[in-house]
């Protein structure tokens, strides 16, 4: 695992592609991604350009991505992992971690809120259950 990584928290997909390509050209070999950033596809596109150009091989790159809070329930972990893998255009992800150690209400809305604007947490799942589903 490379000692230094390139963080991909960049909201704009075009800028994400450009910045990721520039990072790879500059020699970064660890990409730090996350479902939460909503740009895994753009990161995957940039990575594919480097692979196609022959300037980078898969075995030279370490890719991390993260499980978002709305997917902590065990039955949601594998589908979330597979979706990240597809968006990143990878057969394997080198490191898949829990983004934050607390669960939100499960669903596709990454920011579930109640009528008062407060985050809706999911008390129906433990961190140990989420961790177990990652193994």
Q: Which sequence positions are flagged as catalytic?
A: 37
Burial class (CB in 10 A: 0-12, 13-18, 19+), 4: exposed
- For residue 50, what is the enclosing H or E element? helix 40-53
Specify whether the backbone of 117 is left (phi greater than 0), alpha (psi in -120 to 50) or beta: left
101, 66 contact by CB (below 8 A): no
Do 96 and 66 form a contact (C-beta atoms < 8 A)?
A: yes
């Amino acid at each position: 695992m490379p000692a230094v990584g390139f963080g991909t928290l960049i909201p704009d997909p075009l800028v994400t592609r450009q910045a990721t390509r520039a990072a790879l050209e500059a020699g970064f070999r660890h990409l730090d991604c996350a479902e939460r950033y909503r740009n895994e596809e753009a990161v995957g596109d940039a990575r594919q350009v480097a692979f196609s150009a022959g300037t980078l091989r898969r075995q030279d790159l370490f890719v991390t991505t993260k499980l978002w809070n709305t997917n902590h329930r065990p039955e949601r972990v594998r589908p979330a992992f597979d979706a990240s893998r597809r968006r990143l255009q990878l057969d394997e992800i080198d490191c898949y971690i829990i983004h934050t150690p607390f669960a939100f209400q499960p669903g596709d809305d990454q920011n579930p809120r109640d009528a008062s604007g407060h985050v809706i947490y999911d008390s129906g799942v433990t961190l140990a259950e989420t961790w177990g589903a990652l193994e």
